[in-house]
Amino acid sequence: MATHLIIVGPPGAGKGTHATVIAERYGIPAISTGDLFRQHAKAQDELGQLAASYSDRGELVPDEVTDRMVAERVAEDDAQPGFLLDGYPRNMHQVEALDALLGANGVDAVISLEADDAVVVKRLLGRAKIEGRVDDTESVIRHRIEVYHATTQPIIDAYQARNLVVSIDGTGAIDEVRGHIFAALDAFLGRAGK
């Protein structure tokens, strides 16, 4: 049976750092919507051009375009054993679209990386300094965190109501956090009969 996972967490909580390794452990691809947007934009295919027509005007790409990108990606052969989604779903419409896409199989677990806002701000300011991200000021970072809380909390609540959320403290050392993720997820998926 396929394993369908989602990873969520505030900016700087380590989603990208952990997603690939989690996916490797379970033999499934890590699918980042940010990567999907970049791949379609580079290919200049129909979805890439459609997404660009919005983003070039400074508008958000509509859910329907993102839904199609995700649906096409998870239909590929390597995603048949399952997948780990990073950056999707981002709102309740996308939760419903994913439910419709997966049907009875559904989502198996949502890994929620948790980190105190102050820790996230400190991490992202450090990363901005190292990587020369001059646009990542404290006010910009705090705004991104506020947007994350406002948009993602309803999604976490919806999956929590289904008893699918595995909460992990994302503030420790990478190997320590990864160990906690693996232990919690193995136990959870075992309990879920996967």
* Catalytically annotated residues: 15, 90, 127, 133, 144
Contact indicator for 95, 89 with CB cutoff of 8 Å: yes
Report residue 19 CA to chain centroid gap: 8
Task: Tell me the angle at which helices 63-74 and 92-102 cross, rounded to the nearest 10 degrees.
Answer: 30
In angstroms, the CA 83 to CA 79 distance is 6
Q: What are the tokens at 184?
A: 């919690």
In angstroms, the CA 155 to CA 174 distance is 25
